[in-house]
A and B are shown apart, each in its own frame.
Chain A
Amino acid sequence: MKKLFTKPVMAILIGGVLFGGIASAHSESTGNAEADFRIAEMKKLGMNMGAIAKVAKGEESYSASLNDNAAQVAEIAANMPKLFPEGSGVEASRAKPEIWTQQDEFQKDIESLQTAAIQLVAAVKSGDQAMIGAALKETGGTCGACHKQFRKPKE
């Protein structure tokens, strides 16, 4: 019986617990890989904007790395149309079916985000706090406007 807890067995046990932990951390999965990818990209978008916001609010000082955050925002914005493939509006995702029935309007919302994101890149490059704040507000406004129409509220 003593032999039962040999090193390899322990490794498997510990590995299993760790894996289980990771798997349960992913318990928020929608069950649809495309929807999960979209949610992850949206979170990344938010984190990058959040980093810029800290500087816009004067809580952190400006550094050149902020340009990377702005570039990420613009990149995700440019990629946005590809994040909504047909069939990814699964129940557990907050995407509303209108995304696929009112495509013109949805497309327009994405374009406003893309325009705002390009301006955000320029504003961050300038390093001017007020300009960054204004551009960020504009970009954030496009998030809210689209969510209002096309995203279900949290339960």
Chain B
Amino acid sequence: MMCGVAKVKDWERFLSIKAASLLFCGAILSATLAITGAEAQEASDKGAYLTAAGGCYGCHTNIKEKGAPFAGGRPLETPFGTFYTPNITPDRDTGIGSWSDKDFLTAIKHGVSPLDQYFFPAFPYTSYTKMTDEDALAIKSHLMALTPVTQENRKHDISAPFSWRWLQWGWRLFFFTDGPYVPPSNASDAVARGGYLVEALTHCGECHTPRNFLGGTDNSLYLAGTANGGEGEKVPNITPDTETGIGDWSEGDIVSFMKDGMMPDFDNVQGSMEEVISHSTSKLTDEDLAAIAAYLKSIPPINNKIQ
């Protein structure tokens, strides 16, 4: 009897240990699953966020003609002719579905396609080159998770010699600096973050910095605006010059403008910037917008009136 009792007790003990360990393992397993789930979610959120910051949607979607998101075909009018943006959905034949990580990095950070062709600088690889590989690949993951759309790219409508791709070799020599973002040595954390966002992702300078007759940006007039912008628009000076720039805007004014397009005098912006705000900057966190504002306030003011 004694032995029997002992056996039962052992059995009970064994059962309870087993149950406890099962519970424990289960808990670990589900915790692990939850963590990977959360991590995957975080990574995909990051990709979506950076894609918005990079402004990919606005140019790679033919919004006016209700084209599929990211499937390209949007005309970009420039003094050199009309460019039509390519399909960046993961379709294997007409999009970027077959691109490796290396292909993607070479394309967006160095401006060279997987077929070894130079991109025209209507594609802002000249800014994206400053992006970290990690951020660039997060964007790639986001794009690769989109629904593939089969849509052939449309040929650009630009005249010679600007249409000769091989000439880009020379253009790059003059106007393309390949390399990461380096904040100024005295930059605060906010200014450094803002500088990274502006220079590498939101690529403000591609429109707000004037270009010379060859289409290279004139960095002596960095963000000082131009009367001959893309899409035939006048582009304002956004340096902190009080007279001709946005020196009289507070950082709060810059942040709220990037959220809803209202200027301090409560005139709302229209045209290309309205698109940029609605598809890109309004999706950024308050912290990042404040960083951009801090950065824009930190750059040298340039007196350049846009007539």
- Chain A interface residues (CB < 8 Å from chain B): 42-43, 45-47, 49-50, 53, 57-59, 137, 140-141, 143-144, 147-148, 151-155
Can you list 5 A-B contacts with CB-CB less than 8 angstroms, sorted by A residue number?
A45-B266, A53-B262, A140-B260, A143-B262, A154-B234
A46 contacts B267, C-beta separation under 8 Å: yes
Specify which chain B residues have a CB less than 8 angstroms from the CB of A45 in the assembled complex: 266
Classify the interface of chain A: helix, strand, loop or mixed: helix
A144 contacts B260, C-beta separation under 8 Å: yes
Is B233 part of the binding interface, using a Cβ–Cβ cutoff of 8 Å?
yes
**Min CB gap A141→B, angstroms:** 8
> How far is it, in angstroms, between the C-alpha of A153 and the C-alpha of B235 when the chains are bound?
12
Q: How many residues of B contact A (CB 8 A)?
A: 17
A144 contacts B268, C-beta separation under 8 Å: yes
Within 8 Å by CB of B256, from A42, A53, A144, A147, lies A53
Is B245 part of the binding interface, using a Cβ–Cβ cutoff of 8 Å?
no
Within 8 Å by CB of B270, from A43, A53, A137, A148, lies A148
Residues of B154-203 at the interface with A, using a CB-CB cut-off of 8 Å, are none
B271 contacts A53, C-beta separation under 8 Å: no
Within 8 Å by CB of A53, from B264, B267, B268, B274, lies B264
Beyond A42-B267, A47-B265, A144-B260, list 11 extra A-B contacts (CB 8 Å): A53-B264, A57-B250, A59-B252, A140-B262, A147-B268, A148-B274, A151-B270, A153-B233, A154-B233, A154-B234, A154-B270
Is B225 part of the binding interface, using a Cβ–Cβ cutoff of 8 Å?
no
Specify which chain B residues have a CB less than 8 angstroms from the CB of A141 in the assembled complex: 260
> How far is it, in angstroms, between the C-alpha of A47 and the C-alpha of B265 when the chains are bound?
5
Given contacts A144-B260, A155-B234, contact A49 B252 (CB under 8 A): no
A137 contacts B265, C-beta separation under 8 Å: no
Q: In the complex, what residue of chain A is closest to B236 when comparing beta carbons? A: A154
> How far is it, in angstroms, between the C-alpha of A58 and the C-alpha of B253 when the chains are bound?
11
Residues of B243-301 at the interface with A, using a CB-CB cut-off of 8 Å, are 250, 252-253, 256, 260-262, 264-268, 270-271, 274
Specify which chain B residues have a CB less than 8 angstroms from the CB of A148 in the assembled complex: 270, 274
**Min CB gap B253→A, angstroms:** 8
Specify which chain B residues have a CB less than 8 angstroms from the CB of A57 in the assembled complex: 250, 252-253, 256
> How far is it, in angstroms, between the C-alpha of A148 and the C-alpha of B262 when the chains are bound?
13
A144 contacts B262, C-beta separation under 8 Å: yes
When A and B form their complex, which 3 residue pairs have the shortest distance between CB atoms, in order from nearest? A46-B266, A153-B270, A49-B266
A143 contacts B266, C-beta separation under 8 Å: yes
Q: In the complex, what residue of chain B is closest to A140 when comparing beta carbons? A: B262
Specify which chain B residues have a CB less than 8 angstroms from the CB of A50 in the assembled complex: 264-266
Q: In the complex, what residue of chain B is closest to A73 when comparing beta carbons? A: B266
Specify which chain A residues have a CB less than 8 angstroms from the CB of B268 in the assembled complex: 140, 143-144, 147
Specify which chain B residues have a CB less than 8 angstroms from the CB of A151 in the assembled complex: 270
Interface flags for B71-83 (1: CB within 8 Å of A; 0: not) read: 0000000000000
Specify which chain A residues have a CB less than 8 angstroms from the CB of B250 in the assembled complex: 57, 59
Q: In the complex, what residue of chain B is closest to A49 when comparing beta carbons? A: B266
Within 8 Å by CB of A153, from B252, B256, B266, B271, lies B271
Specify which chain A residues have a CB less than 8 angstroms from the CB of B262 in the assembled complex: 53, 140, 143-144
**Min CB gap B233→A, angstroms:** 7
> How far is it, in angstroms, between the C-alpha of A7 and the C-alpha of B268 when the chains are bound?
49
B252 contacts A137, C-beta separation under 8 Å: no
Q: In the complex, what residue of chain A is closest to B260 when comparing beta carbons? A: A140
A47 contacts B256, C-beta separation under 8 Å: no
Specify which chain A residues have a CB less than 8 angstroms from the CB of B274 in the assembled complex: 148, 153
Specify which chain B residues have a CB less than 8 angstroms from the CB of A155 in the assembled complex: 233-234
> How far is it, in angstroms, between the C-alpha of A154 and the C-alpha of B233 when the chains are bound?
8
Q: In the complex, what residue of chain A is closest to B227 when comparing beta carbons? A: A155
Specify which chain A residues have a CB less than 8 angstroms from the CB of B265 in the assembled complex: 43, 46-47, 50
Specify which chain B residues have a CB less than 8 angstroms from the CB of A147 in the assembled complex: 268, 270
> How far is it, in angstroms, between the C-alpha of A40 and the C-alpha of B246 when the chains are bound?
22
A140 contacts B234, C-beta separation under 8 Å: no
Q: In the complex, what residue of chain B is closest to A46 when comparing beta carbons? A: B266
Specify which chain A residues have a CB less than 8 angstroms from the CB of B260 in the assembled complex: 137, 140-141, 144
Specify which chain B residues have a CB less than 8 angstroms from the CB of A152 in the assembled complex: 270
> How far is it, in angstroms, between the C-alpha of A59 and the C-alpha of B249 when the chains are bound?
11
Given contacts A137-B260, A140-B260, A144-B261, contact A53 B234 (CB under 8 A): no
